[in-house]
Structure 1
Amino acid sequence: MVIEALGQGNIPPSALEGIQQLVSLNIPIVLVSRSFNGIVSPTYAYDGGGYQLAQQGFIFSNGLNGPKARLKLLVALSNNLDKAEIKAYFEL
């Protein structure tokens, strides 16, 4: 799943509960920014903040918008990459 987050990779706390259900199912979640420069950073530690999301295993994608990250994730999944390999693939 690809989530287009706010700012540097933050989601509203009200959306966190549903997303955490996906995390518990070990579904890879790629986080991109809707901001112009597309930089995602684990800065804020509040519920839904990038720091907390990084601690939960979200995959941060810098420099890609949502549709491009979705295509990259589809390539990774079609090659049967596990979550750690997907994270490494997005760090290229």
Structure 2
Amino acid sequence: MKKGSKTPKKGFTSEDIYKLLLSVDARITNIEERLSDMATKDNLDYMRNKIEERIQEVRLEVRALGRAIDKDSLAILDFEKRIGRIEKRVVAQ
């Protein structure tokens, strides 16, 4: 072959084109199926809002527990002081 000459091109039959179109269609269908399973922006926004609501509920519960623990701690300290005073009176008698 001479330099610069083109190689002969293979012709495509209707059957080859049909097979190619079927292959492309199958790939597009596969991509569409995968995309339909993915979450949309609305789905993600909904989930984010639900998670934020749940986080807020947990925060409220934790704060309430913290206040209750603080009150219990103060009560224990008060009882300890009272017991200490009673012990001092008993020892003094």
TM range (shorter): under 0.3
Q: Which has the higher strand share?
A: 1
Q: TM-score, normalised by structure 1?
A: 0.18
Give the TM-score taking structure 2 as reference length.
0.18
Between structure 1 and structure 2, the one with the greater Rg is 2
Q: Specify which structure has the higher proportion of helix.
A: 2
